[in-house]
Amino acid sequence: MAATITPLLEYSGGTLAREQVGLWRDGLRRLRRNRLALAAMVYLILLAIVCIVSLFWTPYKPNVVNTCPTYSLPGTPGHPLGCDELGRDTLSRLMVGSQISLAIGLITAAIVMVVGVGVGLLIGYLRGVVDAIFALVINVFYGVPPIMVALVLYVLLGPGVINIIIAIAATTWMDMARLVRGQTLSIREREYVEAARAGGARTRTILLTHIFPNALGPIIVQTTYVVPAAILTAAFFSFLGFGVPAPQADWGGMAQEGFSPLLSGFDPYMLLFPAIALSVTLLAFNFLGDGLRDAFDPRQRR
Amino acid sequence: MTRGTLIYIVQRLGIIVLTLLVVSFLVFVVVHSLPGNAFISQRVHGKSLQLLLHEYGLDQPILIQYWNFLKGAIHGDLGVSLYIRGEEVTPLVLRELSVSCELGGAALIVTIGLGMTFGVLAAMRQNSWVDYLLTSFAVIGYTVPSFVIAALGIMVFANFLGSVTNGTFAYAAVWTGTYGTIGELWLPALSIGLYTSGQITRITRASMLEVINQDYIRTARAKGLKERVVTIRHALRNALVPVISILGTTVVGILVGVLVIENVFGIPGLGKEFVDSILQHDYNVTVGVFTIFALLIGLSNLGVDLLYTLVDPRIRY
Amino acid sequence: MAFAMSGPVLEVKNLSTSFFTDDGEVKAVRDVSFDLAPGETLGIVGESGCGKSVTALSILGLVPRPGRVVEGEILFRGIDLLTIGRDELRQIRGRDIAMIFQDPLSSLNPVHRIGFQVEEAMRAHDKVPRAEVRPRGLDLLQRVHVPDASRRVRNYPHQFSGGMRQRVMIAMGLSNRPEILIADEPTTALDVTVQAQILQLLRDLNRDLGTSIILITHNLGVVAGLCTRVVVMYAGEIVEQGSTEQIFDSPQHPYTWALLRSLPRIDADRHERLRSIEGLPPDLIAPPPGCKFNPRCPFRLERCFSEAPELVRVGDGQAAACWVTMRRAYAEMGAATLTDTRPGSASGVRPPSSAAAGAEAAEGGSRPEPEAGDGG
């Protein structure tokens, strides 16, 4: 969609107008220029590769004990990252841990997106009583830190990765619903929606073909932020002792196991590696989210 | 304090009470549905178990139990602990509340102090190395989990310093007594505070940058005011509004941090109690802690909204 | 208005200010020179983007990043404002030279009371003794006709109307009895009736306090009402200057002439179209060579495309930067009866041939032009 200003007859100065481009191409272009976001994407792709590889192969079986002397330091032959208190290879556990952490993050985000968008669209479009109830529920839930509710919920459901996902998703979807509701409220007032309604389109069609695509930008950004939040919450769970049941462990669990040796003055490596993995992954998702948010921001002109 | 403001406060308090009711009811029901009971450790079975359950009123229908709880709660009596014989919940919770408040308060000071100072500095020296350094610091702060920071702190200040100075300057990671001294408090407070201060730095910086370009800043300079006066009295004052708007979530973030860090350092506060009570199936305590948290958040949100009126005279309820 | 014979209070010499953006250097002000006599009211006129505001900001060192004064001298009482230290300049701001701005809502700090903001202007300098600050503030507000001043001192800016806010700004500006008051489009954001009041206020203050005023505006009517001398700017340069009578009765630069013609007149024929100036102001990063007005000028000559004219004397105290001047345009090109004001219409001169224009355009970074249509 290029719009240009036709130059006047003998105008010999420079042009004053810029070409316009579509929102998506513009956004993609800006994203590509954001080096932090690019670096983050590269890292995440590498991480995904490691994760997939670990499904089929790891240097050692992660749960086999005594593959090396306990508490080995990094650099022992065959175990570049050392071993834990049961003699399990840290590198292998780290790779497998990525599966769990990433799974929790991505699946939670997917659930939150589906449920949040669905509810948000409906509430934003239908308004009325449904909206009032929603507002009430939201107000109540803002009164407690979601992590506490999630914790209690998790204990109720019983141990297991799936239950962690359910518990976290159950306390996070409301933010997404709120966002989508806000978007829907403003988009539904636009002329093309009115036109569609006047043309007799069904509610479902309007929601899917008009409102949802236009709200997609902020939705994608928010979803990108949900992933690290979920991973972080799961890590907190593990660290508090409520995490993934042994012998499996996500990065949070590995960090927790490495904590007591640290407290006793031993080497910090058992905690350090999962902590670094966690931190870098969280950073990457956050940078990616920032990059996406800046790319879709209509206020930025360059 | 206008009449409108008073009405507003009353409305908000009403909502808080409603929230407390709903939250406590939900938690009550959920917690009482948890598998297991508080008396497992005492190894009672059969008849003795029934007697115990009856003594604590746990064999009655849920609604009756909740009703009893409510009746007591209105008088400030939150019941008795199921785990520790004879221990009343209210004084227990209040005592631990003060511990958590001490920690939370210290974290809040770190958050706002570091957060706003860094934010202002970064904005005033936009795009310089100072800006990049402080902004990166903020980003790392709010991404890296608080227990990682705590662990790093212990690693450096307890273990490393300890081994290097033969134990004299080492940080003691275990609290002695109920209230921590400053020497014990700073690392936990920092672990919590770095996380939330990162967000504050970001918002303060963004807000300052917007304000700096406003016309009234130009007017202030044209009046011949000193640069520092312009920055603080004119720019920062106006930049505060967005910062206050995230103060509510910041308080929640601090509470979450308190929850985690207390468990990390073994600090005897509400956070640790919360986790312990769940593990011990001490329902009454769990509900009590939950209720107090909800109350804290509700009050702090109200406080934040009232703070708005102080800062921006255009906002009145 | 008789001027004291003590020499100008402000001398601007060869001022040039540019903005260094990612797209290049925007030459916002080029080689601008003018004087301001004590007690005089000088108007700086031009369309948006012609550099008049930037000139004013340059005087007080308030040009925002990425802008910077690149050349020139600004002599105030013999001191060059462009070379003195930051603190010295800060002292002069608000105390000796004051500036008020266009939009009084955004120019007043919304979170402080207006009494405080007026008093702050005085407290920042040592001119007014502490004890007198508050009564002086009140007196100023009354002087600018803010009703019920003693009570309204405690109000916030958002509780005032636009006209009131601008009066507050004026009070603030004059609080230290500065020698010069620079008013940047003080009435543009206000209703017409309020405009008249504000202008009257400024006139009275100029008469009673003897403050010199530099009034920046794009509105010629405002200039006629208040100023004794006028400077006309276009594309960052002064194209004409003179007394108000001279500028209005016999403008010599085609731009000034066109500006005056474009004012709707109450005695015009009902069927006459509004006469605007064709074209747009030039790109200040790559302006056209020669006279910057040549793409829009009906009277241009060949010379106008290659050589930029300098300001030359065209009357007693009047100067214009033009190779043609309206005198010649009236005499030789029938300017008096001209109805078609398209570029080159009166002189019949088109820009140099397309090939040359293409080469020029490539140099200047603009696009090659399509073949010109009939020039009239």
Distances (CA, A) of B303 to B13, B257, B290, C139: 11, 20, 20, 40
Residues C17 and C138 in one domain: yes
Asked if C91 has any chain B CB less than 8 Å from its own CB, the reply is: yes
| Percentage of chain B lying above the pLDDT 70 cut | 84
- Over residues C211-243, the pLDDT tens digits come to 999 999 988 888 888 899 999 999 999 999 999
- Over residues C77-88, the pLDDT tens digits come to 888 999 998 888
> Does residue C81 form part of some domain?
yes
Contact A199, A137 (CB under 8 A): no
> Does residue C352 form part of some domain?
yes
Residue C302: pLDDT band (50, 70, 90) is confident
> Does residue C374 form part of some domain?
no
Contact C272, C262 (CB under 8 A): no
Residue A284: pLDDT band (50, 70, 90) is very high
- Residue A70 confidence (pLDDT): 66
> Does residue C336 form part of some domain?
yes
- Residue B222 confidence (pLDDT): 92
Q: Tokens for B309, please give them.
A: 């009126």
Residue C328: pLDDT band (50, 70, 90) is confident
On the question of pLDDT at B2 being above 70, the answer is yes
Burial (Cβ within 10 Å: 0-12, 13-18, ≥19) of residue B26: middle
On the question of pLDDT at C172 being above 70, the answer is yes
Residues C200 and C299 in one domain: no
**Residue range A2-22: mean pLDDT, rounded:** 42
Q: Pick the more confident residue, B101 or A249.
A: B101
Nearest neighbour of A10 by CB, restricted to C283, C285, C295: C295
Residues C299 and C222 in one domain: no
- List of chain C residues whose C-beta atoms are within 8 Å of the C-beta of residue B223: 93-94, 98, 120-121, 124, 172
Q: Pick the more confident residue, A3 or C58.
A: C58
Residue C5: pLDDT band (50, 70, 90) is low
CA B213, CA B227: separation in Å to the nearest integer? 14
- Residue C4 confidence (pLDDT): 47
Which amino acid makes up residue B173? A
The residue of chain C with its CA nearest to that of A11 is: C295
Contact A176, A226 (CB under 8 A): yes
Residue with tokens 């556990």: A93
CB–CB contact C369 A11 (8 Å): yes
Residues C192 and C335 in one domain: no
- Residue B167 confidence (pLDDT): 54
On the question of pLDDT at B108 being above 60, the answer is yes
Distances (CA, A) of C296 to A50, B139, C220, C254, C345: 66, 53, 20, 10, 10
CB–CB contact B293 A232 (8 Å): no
> Does residue C190 form part of some domain?
yes
- Residue B221 confidence (pLDDT): 92
Q: How many CB atoms lie within 10 A of CB B231?
A: 21
Contact C79, C87 (CB under 8 A): no
- Please name which of A110, A144, A101, A109 lies closest in space to residue A234, comparing C-alpha atoms: A101
Q: Pick the more confident residue, A10 or A170.
A: A170
Which amino acid makes up residue C364? G
Give the pTM.
0.76
| Percentage of chain C lying above the pLDDT 90 cut | 26
On the question of pLDDT at A8 being above 60, the answer is no
- Residue A143 confidence (pLDDT): 75
> Does residue C25 form part of some domain?
yes
Residue B125: pLDDT band (50, 70, 90) is confident
Nearest neighbour of B216 by CB, restricted to C93, C109, C125: C109
- Residue C325 confidence (pLDDT): 84
Q: Neighbours of B (≥3 Cβ pairs closer than 8 A)?
A: A, C
CA A63, CA A69: separation in Å to the nearest integer? 15
**Residue range A66-85: mean pLDDT, rounded:** 70
Per the structure, how many domains does chain C have?
A: 2
**Residue range A220-247: mean pLDDT, rounded:** 86
| Strand residues in C37-160 grouped as ranges (E) | 41-45, 67-76, 79-80, 97-100
Q: Pick the more confident residue, C263 or C203.
A: C203
On the question of pLDDT at A108 being above 90, the answer is yes
Angle of helix A161-187 relative to helix A90-126, nearest 10 degrees, comes to 30
The residue of chain C with its CA nearest to that of A16 is: C283
On the question of pLDDT at A212 being above 70, the answer is yes
Cis ω before C66 (30° cut-off from 0) = yes
Residues C263 and C292 in one domain: yes
Q: Pick the more confident residue, A15 or B298.
A: B298
Asked if B71 has any chain C CB less than 8 Å from its own CB, the reply is: no
Residue C265: pLDDT band (50, 70, 90) is confident
Residues C292 and C358 in one domain: yes
**Residue range C18-32: mean pLDDT, rounded:** 89
Write the DSSP assignment of A159-222 as a string of letters: SSHHHHHHHHHHHHHHHHHHHHHHHHHHHTTSHHHHHHHHTT--HHHHIIIIIHHHHHHHHHHH
Q: Which of C22, C100, C111, C216 to mutate to test the interface with B (most CBs of B within 10 A)?
A: C111
The residue of chain C with its CA nearest to that of B219 is: C107
In B195-234, the residues whose Cβ lies within 8 Å of chain C are: 213-216, 218-226, 229, 233-234
CB–CB contact B256 A228 (8 Å): no
CB–CB contact B222 C103 (8 Å): no
Domain ranges, residue C41: 2-227
CB–CB contact C106 B214 (8 Å): yes
> Does residue C340 form part of some domain?
yes
Asked if B264 has any chain A CB less than 8 Å from its own CB, the reply is: yes
CB–CB contact B278 A282 (8 Å): no
Asked if B302 has any chain A CB less than 8 Å from its own CB, the reply is: no
**Residue range B230-240: mean pLDDT, rounded:** 89
On the question of pLDDT at C104 being above 90, the answer is no
- Residue C242 confidence (pLDDT): 92
- Residue C182 confidence (pLDDT): 94
On the question of pLDDT at B205 being above 50, the answer is yes
Which amino acid makes up residue B9? I
- Residue C360 confidence (pLDDT): 41
CB–CB contact B256 A241 (8 Å): no
- List of chain C residues whose C-beta atoms are within 8 Å of the C-beta of residue A10: 295, 343-344, 350-351, 369, 372
**Residue range B278-301: mean pLDDT, rounded:** 83
- List of chain A residues whose C-beta atoms are within 8 Å of the C-beta of residue B173: 263
Strands ordered across the beta sheet of C79-80: C24-36, C10-21, C67-76, C79-80
Residues C260 and C307 in one domain: yes
On the question of pLDDT at A110 being above 70, the answer is yes
Residues C118 and C248 in one domain: no
**Residue range C37-51: mean pLDDT, rounded:** 89
Asked if C376 has any chain A CB less than 8 Å from its own CB, the reply is: no
> Does residue C303 form part of some domain?
yes
Which amino acid makes up residue C100? I
Q: Pick the more confident residue, A20 or C86.
A: C86
- Over residues C121-147, the pLDDT tens digits come to 999 898 888 888 999 999 889 888 888
Asked if B316 has any chain C CB less than 8 Å from its own CB, the reply is: no
Task: Set out the domains of chain A in order of their start, with CATH numbers.
Answer: 104-300 (1.10.3720.10)
**Residue range B235-260: mean pLDDT, rounded:** 88
- Over residues C177-210, the pLDDT tens digits come to 899 999 999 888 788 888 888 888 889 888 988 8
- Over residues A260-282, the pLDDT tens digits come to 777 776 677 778 888 888 999 99
Asked if B314 has any chain C CB less than 8 Å from its own CB, the reply is: yes
Residues C252 and C215 in one domain: no
Q: Neighbours of A (≥3 Cβ pairs closer than 8 A)?
A: B, C
- List of chain A residues whose C-beta atoms are within 8 Å of the C-beta of residue C287: 13
Residue C259's domain is classified under what CATH number? 3.40.50.300
Asked if C109 has any chain B CB less than 8 Å from its own CB, the reply is: yes
Cis ω before A247 (30° cut-off from 0) = yes
Chain B: closest CA distance from residue C64 (Å): 9
Residues C39 and C186 in one domain: yes
- Residue C334 confidence (pLDDT): 75
Residue C264: pLDDT band (50, 70, 90) is confident
- Residue A17 confidence (pLDDT): 41
Residues C150 and C241 in one domain: no
Angle of helix A90-126 relative to helix A212-240, nearest 10 degrees, comes to 140
- Please name which of A260, A284, A276 lies closest in space to residue A91, comparing C-alpha atoms: A276
On the question of pLDDT at C22 being above 90, the answer is no
Residues C78 and C219 in one domain: yes
Write the DSSP assignment of B230-266 as a string of letters: IIIIIIIHHHHHHHHHTHHHHHHHHHHHHHHHHHHHT
Asked if A301 has any chain C CB less than 8 Å from its own CB, the reply is: no
Least confident window among A15-24, B2-11, B262-271, B305-314: A15-24
Q: Neighbours of C (≥3 Cβ pairs closer than 8 A)?
A: A, B
CB–CB contact A10 C343 (8 Å): yes
Q: What is the mean pLDDT of chain A?
A: 79
CB–CB contact B314 C103 (8 Å): no
Strand partners, C15: C32
Nearest neighbour of B312 by CB, restricted to C98, C111, C124: C111
Chain A residues with CB under 8 Å of a chain B CB are: 139-140, 142-145, 147-148, 151-153, 155-156, 158, 228, 232, 235-236, 239-242, 255, 259, 262-263, 265, 268, 271-272, 275, 278-279, 282-283, 286
Q: What is the greatest pairwise CA distance in chain B?
A: 86
Q: What is the ipTM of this complex?
A: 0.80
Averaging pLDDT over each range in A115-129, B259-273, C61-75, C356-370, which range is the top one?
Answer: C61-75
